[in-house]
C-alpha cells in the first residue's frame, strides 16, 4: 500500500499562501516583481519560462520577461543583469539555464545581486545554505522538503539517501535534510553498492537523470520516495528516475512524474521572490529555522563543533 504525493495540490497550497501575503503587501503599497531572462530559443526553457510567468500572475506578482536572441554577447547580458540589479521594481532576477554555449553561466550568476538571486545559485547564497543561515531556499530541494512535510514524516534521526550530487539539487538537498537532523548519505555515479545504500533509506531522493533506474529492490518497504528526475522513457514519454509502477506498492509515499516535484520548484521560486520583497522592505530579517538551535552557541561552536 502506498500513498501518492500530489505535488500539484501541495504547490497550490503554497501558492495560495503566497497570494494572500502578496495581497496584504499590496495594501501597504508594496508591489512584487520577478524578472525572467531567457537567451535563445530552447523549447524546454521556453515552457519553463511560460510556467514561471503564469505562476507570477497566479500569486499577484508583476513579471518582466526579457527574451534575448541566441547571439547575445556576454557583455549585453551582463548589461541587462546590471540594469535589473538597479531596478527597484525588480525583487528577483532569474536567468534561465542552460545558456547558449558561448555564455558562461558562472559569470552571469555571479553578477546577479545576491539579494535578488531567487534561484539561490549565487555563491553567497550557496554558502549561506551550507551554514544554515539563509533567506533564499534552493527551489527544487525546498520543494522536496515541502512534499516530505506533507506526508507528516519526521526527518530527525531518519536515514536519508540522496542520489545525485549536483550543485542545484543533490548537494543543497543533503544540506536541507541535514539541517532537519536527518542522517544523510549522498550517492553518485561512483558509489559502490548503490542498491544496498539506497534500500537503507527511510527517505530516498532520486536526482540522477536516468530514466527509471530506481526499481523496487532499491527501496525499503514503507520508505518516502521522492523523484526529482525529468527523463524520457524508451517511447519518449516523460518519466522520472524512479520506476513508479514497480515501486508504488512498496513505498510508503511516492511522487509521480509529472505532477510531483516539478510544480513545487516554481512554487518555491515564488516564495523566494516574496522573501526578497519582504527583506527589501524591512519586513523580514533573516534565516529559515533549523532543527538544531544554534543561537545559544558561540561562533566557534557553530562553525567548528556543531554536532
| Cα 181 versus chain centre, distance | 19
Nearer to ligand GUN, 46 or 200 (CB): 46
The alpha carbon dihedral of 132, 135, 141, 147 has a sign of: positive
DSSP 98: S
**Segment lying near ligand GUN (by CB under 6 A), choices 70-78, 93-101, 196-204, 217-225:** 93-101
Residue 303 Cβ, how far from ligand GUN at the closest point, in Å?
A: 30
C-alpha cell at 91: 525583487
Work out the burial of residue 302: count CB atoms within 10 Å of its CB; fewer than 13 is exposed, 13-18 middle, 19 or more buried: middle
Helix (H, G, I), strand (E, B), or coil: what is residue 240? coil
* Annotated catalytic residue within 15, 117, 119, 243: 119
- Cβ(108)–Cβ(77) under 8 Å? yes
Residue 284 Cβ, how far from ligand GUN at the closest point, in Å?
A: 22
Phi/psi region, residue 202 (left: phi>0; alpha: psi -120 to 50; beta: rest), is alpha
C-alpha cell at 252: 510508503
Residue 157 Cβ, how far from ligand GUN at the closest point, in Å?
A: 30
**Segment lying near ligand GUN (by CB under 6 A), choices 73-81, 91-99, 143-151, 235-243:** 91-99
Dist CA 11 CA 17 (whole Å) = 10
- Site string (1-40) toward ligand GUN, x via CB under 6 A: ----------------------------------------
Nearer to ligand GUN, 90 or 223 (CB): 90
Report 211-270 residues binding ligand GUN (CB under 6 A). 265
Q: Beta-carbon neighbour count of residue 70 at 10 Å?
A: 13
Catalytic, 96? Answer yes
Is 48 a binder of ligand GUN (CB under 6 A)?
Answer: yes
Catalytic, 75? Answer no
Number of residues this chain uses to bind ligand GUN (CB under 6 A): 8
Is 97 a binder of ligand GUN (CB under 6 A)?
Answer: yes
- Cβ(95)–Cβ(46) under 8 Å? no
Dist CA 222 CA 233 (whole Å) = 26
- Cβ(68)–Cβ(38) under 8 Å? yes
Catalytic, 290? Answer no
CA angle 94, 227, 231 (to 5 degrees): 75
Is 96 a binder of ligand GUN (CB under 6 A)?
Answer: yes
Is 136 a binder of ligand GUN (CB under 6 A)?
Answer: no
Among 38, 77, 94, 126, binds ligand GUN (CB under 6 A): 94
Residue 146 Cβ, how far from ligand GUN at the closest point, in Å?
A: 15
Residue 200 Cβ, how far from ligand GUN at the closest point, in Å?
A: 30
- Cβ(271)–Cβ(136) under 8 Å? no
Residue closest to ligand GUN when measured from CB atoms? 97
For ligand GUN, the binding residues (CB under 6 A) are 48, 94-97, 119, 139, 265
Residues noted as catalytic: 52, 96, 119
Amino acid at each position: 500500500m502506498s500513498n501518492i504525493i500530489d505535488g500539484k495540490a501541495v504547490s497550490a497550497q503554497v501558492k495560495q499562501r503566497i497570494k494572500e501575503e502578496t495581497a496584504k503587501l499590496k495594501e501597504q503599497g508594496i508591489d512584487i516583481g520577478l524578472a525572467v531572462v531567457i537567451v535563445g530559443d530552447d523549447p524546454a526553457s521556453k515552457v519553463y519560462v511560460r510556467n514561471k510567468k503564469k505562476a507570477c500572475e497566479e500569486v499577484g506578482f508583476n513579471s518582466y520577461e526579457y527574451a534575448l536572441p541566441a547571439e547575445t554577447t556576454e557583455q549585453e547580458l551582463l548589461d541587462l543583469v546590471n540594469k535589473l540589479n538597479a531596478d527597484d521594481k525588480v525583487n528577483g532576477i532569474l536567468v534561465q539555464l542552460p545558456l547558449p554555449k558561448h555564455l558562461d553561466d558562472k559569470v552571469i550568476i555571479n553578477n546577479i545581486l545576491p539579494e535578488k538571486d531567487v534561484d539561490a545559485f549565487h555563491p553567497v547564497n550557496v554558502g549561506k545554505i551550507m551554514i544554515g543561515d539563509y533567506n533564499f531556499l534552493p527551489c527544487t530541494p525546498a520543494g522536496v522538503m515541502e512534499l516530505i512535510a506533507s506526508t507528516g514524516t519526521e526527518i530527525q534521526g531518519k536515514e536519508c539517501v540522496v542520489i545525485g550530487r549536483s550543485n542545484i539539487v543533490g548537494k543543497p538537498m543533503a544540506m536541507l535534510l541535514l539541517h532537519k537532523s536527518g542522517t544523510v548519505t549522498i550517492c553518485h555515479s561512483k558509489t559502490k553498492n548503490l542498491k544496498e545504500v539506497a534500500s537503507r533509506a527511510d527517505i530516498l531522493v532520486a536526482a540522477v537523470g536516468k530514466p527509471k533506474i530506481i526499481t523496487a529492490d532499491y527501496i525499503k518497504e514503507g520508505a518516502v520516495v521522492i523523484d526529482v528526475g525529468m527523463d524520457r522513457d524508451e517511447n519518449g514519454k516523460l518519466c522520472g528516475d524512479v520506476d513508479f509502477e514497480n515501486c508504488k506498492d512498496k513505498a510508503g509515499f511516492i511522487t509521480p512524474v509529472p505532477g510531483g516535484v516539478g510544480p513545487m520548484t516554481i512554487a518555491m521560486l515564488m516564495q523566494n521572490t516574496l522573501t526578497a520583497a519582504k527583506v527589501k522592505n524591512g519586513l523580514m530579517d533573516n534565516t529559515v529555522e533549523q532543527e538544531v538551535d544554534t543561537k545559544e552557541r558561540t561562533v566557534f561552536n557553530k562553525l567548528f563543533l556543531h554536532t
